């Protein structure tokens, strides 16, 4: 067996962790057909759910979410959506996943925040029982939502923090709404003791990464632009900032456009807590197995680095110490 086949076999069989996975970007076609009410062929549905091959920006990428969001407007739709994602992840050896979504996008005349949280957590509970996959929920505030709406996400979630809800995130079009616009939101999260990650550096802004660090983020989503600032790289290492890279998505959104310049190996060589994740399994037509194979085949990552990525994922996860111990024992 040659070395390439050996690494491929290792990737296929190794335990996996996915820390950056959007619920509404990761539904199976069967789930979408069951809950969208659309009578479309698979080819047409895929064309609406997957980023186009010529995707030119994050803004274009985000247009793929309208149909999936329509599927999570009932408790049943949310529970089954979470379970659908966990089932898919279990088939490739994912043992822990942090699933993020914006609860505000599911609020309607029949659903309040409590309904949304409990429906999602029921999916997590069933996912553990049926597929032996541990999971937590990260709640996304949205850049285009009002501050009052985003603050309500925090305030309504506190009873569930540590009971399946693990953190806050800020998602949406980073190019249109800088992190500096959300100081009030994250000051409140800190006051209440809710940890958070922030999508930062996906659209070329180093300032957004620095702002996230200054606000007290434990992690940043993507963080690609960090490589532009060697001093900030050192600060990130010093503070133990976690980096949630999502390679396939990062090329689709043009966070990076050249394999040679993609900073994953650079981050690892500089001792940063970099990880590899899926972002949106359906929109990006990916999974953890594909992502790890991609970084090995195209980005210079070696077999020894795969273990580092796994350990980094455990270290920066929002999982309990018991689950972290369990994940360490798998290797």
Active site members:
202
CB-based contact 210:183 (threshold 8 Å): no
Question: How many other C-beta atoms can be found within 10 angstroms of the C-beta atom of residue 112?
Answer: 13
* Packing angle of the helix pair 113-131, 75-90 (nearest 10 deg): 30
DSSP 8-class letter at 173: -
The number of residues in the chain equals: 331
Nearest to 135 by CA among 198, 86, 194, 80: 86
How far is 191 from 308, CA to CA, in rounded Å? 33
Phi-psi label, residue 98: left if phi above 0, alpha if psi -120 to 50, beta otherwise: beta
Chain-centre distance of CA 62, in angstroms? Answer: 14
DSSP 8-class letter at 143: T
Task: Give all strands of the β-sheet with 219-222 in edge-to-edge order.
Answer: 197-200, 219-222, 242-245, 273-276
CB-based contact 175:201 (threshold 8 Å): no
**Which residues, listed in sequence order, are joined to residue 317 by a DSSP beta bridge?**
none
Token duo for residue 210: 């620095």
CB-based contact 224:202 (threshold 8 Å): yes
CB-based contact 121:165 (threshold 8 Å): yes
């Amino acid at each position: 067996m040659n070395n390439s086949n050996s690494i491929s076999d290792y990737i296929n069989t190794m335990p996996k962790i996915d820390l950056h996975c959007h619920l509404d970007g990761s539904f199976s076609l069967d789930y979408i057909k069951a809950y969208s009410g659309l009578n479309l062929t698979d080819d047409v549905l895929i064309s609406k759910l997957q980023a186009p091959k010529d995707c030119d920006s994050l803004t274009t990428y985000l247009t793929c979410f309208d149909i999936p969001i329509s599927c999570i407007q009932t408790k049943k739709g949310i529970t089954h959506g979470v379970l659908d994602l966990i089932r898919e992840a279990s088939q490739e050896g994912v043992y822990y996943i942090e699933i993020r979504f914006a609860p505000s996008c599911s609020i309607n005349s029949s659903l309040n925040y409590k309904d949304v949280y409990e429906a999602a957590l029921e999916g997590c509970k069933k996912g553990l029982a049926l597929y032996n996959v541990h999971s937590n929920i990260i709640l996304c505030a949205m850049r285009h939502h009002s501050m009052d709406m985003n603050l309500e996400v925090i305030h309504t979630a506190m009873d569930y923090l540590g009971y399946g809800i693990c953190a806050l995130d800020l998602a949406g079009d980073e190019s249109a709404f800088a992190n500096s616009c959300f100081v009030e939101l994250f000051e409140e999260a800190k006051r209440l003791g809710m940890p958070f990650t922030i999508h930062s550096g996906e659209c070329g802004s180093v300032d957004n990464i620095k702002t996230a660090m200054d606000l007290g983020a434990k992690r940043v989503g993507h963080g690609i632009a960090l490589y532009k600032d060697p001093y900030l790289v050192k600060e990130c290492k010093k503070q133990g900032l976690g980096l949630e890279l999502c390679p396939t998505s990062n090329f689709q959104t043009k966070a990076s456009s050249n394999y040679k310049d993609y900073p994953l190996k650079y981050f690892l060589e500089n001792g940063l807590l970099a990880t590899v994740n899926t972002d949106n399994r359906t929109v990006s037509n990916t999974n953890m197995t594909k992502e790890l194979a991609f970084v090995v085949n195209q980005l210079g990552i070696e077999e020894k680095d795969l273990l580092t990525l796994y350990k980094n994922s455990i270290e920066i996860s929002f999982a309990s110490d018991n689950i972290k111990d369990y994940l360490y024992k798998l290797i």
